Chains A and B, each alone.
Chain A
């Protein structure tokens, strides 16, 4: 992999972490209402997968989708504004945190009913296959979603008609508070796909390079007409299910063990020679320390460059938050316009005036 790609992925991981932490802060300060599901810990999945995809590919995601949207290229400001329900939000303030949509970037939405991403992706892939286009459809979902009926229904149809879908399971081991051994009879999720004859692979979801490589290979098979492919990303969310969830059902030792394997830290250790600051140690970044003795060997980045990168990212996210704060709220007229937009050419009751 070339150095630019590695640097870009590192930048996106830092952006992802910074964005989500800023969102958490805004929530804590009462600026964001409703549900807020954050991604820290899982960044390697979104970044690795989406950097291995083409801009023409379609993305279908869940309610934990800010980072998918961000890495997909939706401006941080438009996402942040949506979290605040502003008119300038990517969904015009009508969607919110769980419903980011961007037609131009082929981001087909965040869905807040578990298991909905499967049929949406199925339909998008059906359209692509019917039109004989080269695109793939990327379908994200969590470990909890594999017990929904739509998982089985959709995988069956995707395999039956050999549709161009890449199924990406973000297995963070918890469906809200229920640990995987308590929600699934077969906990190696990739094996479920085998029941439908879909090639499946388990990937270290904390290693962005492994994620990128597995995705690149799987997408090549999708584009070669081999039908749906399945990747199980083993990952972990550092926070609770949502901001309303302290995550107290998880043993501290488990959380710490995964934090020691922080995907951002893992990427950093591949590119920099860096001793964490006291602040970073305090915020759980001490996982870097144990590994940094061999990091400098790669030499992709020096400490000064990394500091610049962190500053750029911090500035970008701060600007996004400011933009969101200063943006106007949508009006009820805007809401009606969103609802009625698609019937603007329809005559409902009256004949057209001659």
Chain B
């Protein structure tokens, strides 16, 4: 067990997979000499050489597509897109190629492609660099999407994604790269898409993912002082979703609060709410609560930026409202 940062865990995962299988290679802008803009590929060029750690031109669609073509021939490319905002330039490669080829070929071609990219609201990066676009990929059958919230999950899930024969998006978060956590590289990993209970509770269930899990954890601490026990389910994966674990928790607590950083309208929280409502309706003591980002491009101003996504205080308020719906509304 070692304490390390999220980016270091990703780095260790890449190193481990590259050492084990020479079919694994990295591609992306500044992944080589520069070591990755968030240091994720630091040291790997020197160790594995330029054919396995390839600095690319600024051509997102074609270098992601390169990953698709190389995967068809049996390589296991890990494409780094510097931020999810640039993935919009690679949507053709991700959506029209990677997600479709295994299926359209009648299952002839595996697609062992991993596409890593960070998203999320960070620190005043402006509207073009602060997007949470996971919902855009949710509606694309054929893609799998994982959203590690901790260094340990980053380590496990990236390794598992590389080993999978399906195209998998690993959505990281810019504010998580420099968070620290315990990582045990020898511990067997749970299944890639299994949700995890981060905190046990009996009064309500908060279902969240990625950076918002830490917001939920901070809120749960405050709620505990008021005698409210909030259970936290970290989804770890957005496609597929581990519905069973969500349902088991809601069956116990009878209340659910969905917490997501992406915009509310058309966002991940809507899909989670709709499906859980269908599956858990008769257990619920209150309508499912939903907290998500405002439907606004992210303002540059720091205070407005912070107010554009759920904060700890918002979660506390929403949780209390769920527990006493008549009083708080």
Most buried by B among A123, A128, A149: A123
Choice from B65, B96, B105 contacting A118 with Cβ under 8 Å: B65
Cβ of A266 under 8 Å from chain B:
no
Choice from A124, A337, A341, A351 contacting B191 with Cβ under 8 Å: A351
Choice from A91, A127, A149, A346 contacting B61 with Cβ under 8 Å: A149
CB–CB A348/B57 < 8 A: no
Cβ of A36 under 8 Å from chain B:
no
Bound CA span A89–B123, Å: 53
Cβ of B72 under 8 Å from chain A:
yes
Cβ of B244 under 8 Å from chain A:
yes
CB–CB A103/B62 < 8 A: no
Bound CA span A346–B57, Å: 34
CB–CB B106/A95 < 8 A: yes
Q: Which of A154-193 contact B (CB under 8 A)?
A: 154, 156-157, 160
CB–CB A347/B191 < 8 A: yes
Cβ of B67 under 8 Å from chain A:
yes
Which residues of chain B are near A102, meaning CB under 8 Å?
108
CB–CB A130/B92 < 8 A: no
Number of residues from A at the complex interface, CB < 8 A: 51
Which residues of chain B are near A124, meaning CB under 8 Å?
69-70, 72-73
Cβ of B227 under 8 Å from chain A:
no
CB–CB B166/A119 < 8 A: no
CB–CB B244/A349 < 8 A: yes
Choice from A101, A127, A153 contacting B69 with Cβ under 8 Å: A127
Which residues of chain B are near A342, meaning CB under 8 Å?
102, 107, 110-111, 164-166
CB–CB B57/A156 < 8 A: yes
Bound CA span A121–B70, Å: 9
Q: Which of B130-168 contact A (CB under 8 A)?
A: 141-142, 144, 164-166
CB–CB B65/A116 < 8 A: yes
Bound CA span A113–B97, Å: 9
Which residues of chain A are near B66, meaning CB under 8 Å?
119, 122-123, 126, 154, 157
A119 in contact with B110 given A153-B61, A346-B192 (CB within 8 Å): no
A126 in contact with B69 given A92-B107, A118-B62 (CB within 8 Å): yes
Which residues of chain B are near A99, meaning CB under 8 Å?
104-105
Which residues of chain A are near B73, meaning CB under 8 Å?
58, 123-124, 127-128
Cβ of B64 under 8 Å from chain A:
yes
CB–CB B63/A121 < 8 A: no
Choice from A160, A338, A343 contacting B166 with Cβ under 8 Å: A343
Q: How far is the CB of A127 from chain B (nearest CB, A)?
A: 4
Q: Which of A58-101 contact B (CB under 8 A)?
A: 58, 60, 89-95, 99, 101
Which residues of chain A are near B65, meaning CB under 8 Å?
116, 118-120, 122-123, 150, 154
Tell me the nearest residue of chain A to B105, going by C-beta.
A101
Bound CA span A183–B240, Å: 43
Most buried by A among B61, B66, B69, B191: B69
CB–CB B194/A349 < 8 A: yes
CB–CB B104/A150 < 8 A: no
Cβ of B75 under 8 Å from chain A:
yes
Q: Which of A330-352 contact B (CB under 8 A)?
A: 337-339, 341-343, 345-351
Which residues of chain B are near A349, meaning CB under 8 Å?
191, 193-195, 240, 242, 244-245
A95 in contact with B57 given A119-B64, A126-B66 (CB within 8 Å): no
CB–CB B97/A157 < 8 A: no
Cβ of B101 under 8 Å from chain A:
yes
Cβ of A109 under 8 Å from chain B:
yes
Q: How far is the CB of A95 from chain B (nearest CB, A)?
A: 4
Choice from A116, A122, A157, A345 contacting B92 with Cβ under 8 Å: A116
Chain A proximity mask over B72-113: 1 for CB below 8 Å, otherwise 0: 111101000000000000001100110001111111111100
Which residues of chain A are near B165, meaning CB under 8 Å?
342-343, 345-346
Cβ of B202 under 8 Å from chain A:
no
Bound CA span A80–B133, Å: 40
Cβ of A108 under 8 Å from chain B:
yes
Most buried by B among A108, A109, A149, A349: A349
Bound CA span A124–B70, Å: 5
Bound CA span A93–B144, Å: 24
Tell me the nearest residue of chain A to B163, going by C-beta.
A346
A-B contact pairs, 11 of them (CB 8 A): A91-B104, A101-B104, A119-B63, A120-B65, A120-B97, A149-B62, A153-B61, A154-B65, A157-B57, A346-B165, A348-B240
Q: Which of A's residues lie within 8 Å of B, judged by CB?
A: 58, 60, 89-95, 99, 101-103, 108-109, 111, 113, 116, 118-130, 149-150, 153-154, 156-157, 160, 337-339, 341-343, 345-351
Lowest 3 A-B CB distances belong to which pairs?
A: A123-B69, A119-B65, A92-B106
Q: Which of B's residues lie within 8 Å of A, judged by CB?
A: 25, 51-52, 56-57, 59, 61-75, 77, 92-93, 96-97, 101-111, 141-142, 144, 164-166, 190-195, 240, 242, 244-245
Supplied contacts A127-B69, A341-B107, 19 more A-B pairs, CB within 8 Å: A91-B104, A95-B104, A111-B97, A119-B61, A122-B69, A126-B75, A127-B75, A129-B51, A130-B51, A150-B65, A154-B65, A157-B59, A157-B62, A339-B103, A339-B142, A342-B102, A342-B110, A349-B194, A349-B244
